[in-house]
Amino acid sequence: MGILLKKKERELVVPGEEIIKSMDYLPGRNCFREGDSIYAKRLGFVSINGRVISVVPLSGVYIPKTGDMVIGEIKEVQPTGWIVDIKAPYDAYLPLAGIKEFIDTTKTDLSRVYDIGELIYARVASVSGTSSVHLSMHDPRCKKFKSGRIIRINPTKIPRVIGKMGSMINLIKTSTKTRISVGQNGMIWFEGENEELVAKAIKLIEKQSQQEGLTDKVSELLKAGSKGDKNEKD
């Protein structure tokens, strides 16, 4: 079986490169089959999970998926909903039914709920086949951002920012005492005592996402950063 495998696990592949020549395996995410072989569709690292071959991408834009939490900017207020820019190829629509409060459209102006330019944390409620994206605020995590900061990174790096079972994000949250909301679309909101340090940590993760032992590096940065802060105060 080892002979069939043209690429090792975690090896970098470019589009069109053969990963395995075997009918016993299945093409997973970012892979396709042609003849007997499975090829990479995108630039990324090979990942083998049982009999499924997939490629973890290194770059690319955000493609909305049902259930994702995203940060979006209100682009337009319409009579019965909002058009939201979620930094994806498709604009998202937040219908009136998607928000928690009841609003009488004859009496209230919708821009008083969310106005143009405001940022919200929303859940992707549905993505239809024709790629129209609907959002919803029916989730305890959903909110409107009134203060704090936002940075944008490549959406393919978001899984690293979150870490295994949220290990990375919890590390940052606890050691900097900030509140952080991560959008799957690459937008990250945070507010707290040491925002500068959080931004630095996130940028570090984005830059070195393909390297191992990232959690240690980040915790080192956070330790050094919080110490430096104390020295300044002294």
Partner 1 sequence: MKRIDGRKEDELRPIVMKAGVIEQADGSAFVKFGNTSAIAAVYGPRSLHPKHLQIPDKALLRTVYSMAPFSTTERVKPGPSRRSIEISKVTRYALEPAVFLEEFPKTGIEVYIDIIEADAGTRTAGINAASIALADAGIPMRDLVAAVAVGKINNNYIVDLCGKEEEQTLCDMPVAYMPRTKQITLLQMDGDITLDDATKLIKLAIKKCEEIYEIQKQALKKRWMG
Binding site for partner 1 (CB under 8 A): 12, 14-18, 30, 32, 34, 39, 41-44, 57-61, 63, 89-91, 130-131, 156, 210
Q: Which residues pair with 120 in a beta bridge?
A: 72, 144
* Closest CB to partner 1 among residues 105, 132: 132
Listing DSSP states for 96-158 in one string gives: GGGSSS---TTTS-GGGTS-TT-EEEEEEEEE-TT--EEEE--STT-EEE-SSEEEE--GGGH
Rounded to the nearest whole angstrom, what is the least distance from the CB of residue 213 to partner 1 in the complex? Answer: 15
* Closest CB to partner 1 among residues 130, 231: 130
Rounded to the nearest whole angstrom, what is the least distance from the CB of residue 170 to partner 1 in the complex? Answer: 28
Three-class SS of residue 232? helix
* Closest CB to partner 1 among residues 55, 113: 55
Rounded to the nearest whole angstrom, what is the least distance from the CB of residue 83 to partner 1 in the complex? Answer: 11
Please choose, from the candidates 217, 85, 76, the residue with its C-alpha nearest in 3D space to the C-alpha of residue 152: 85
Residue 134: count of CB within 10 angstroms of its CB:
20
Rounded to the nearest whole angstrom, what is the least distance from the CB of residue 186 to partner 1 in the complex? Answer: 12
* Closest CB to partner 1 among residues 1, 14: 14
* Closest CB to partner 1 among residues 210, 226: 210
Three-class SS of residue 26? strand
Rounded to the nearest whole angstrom, what is the least distance from the CB of residue 56 to partner 1 in the complex? Answer: 11
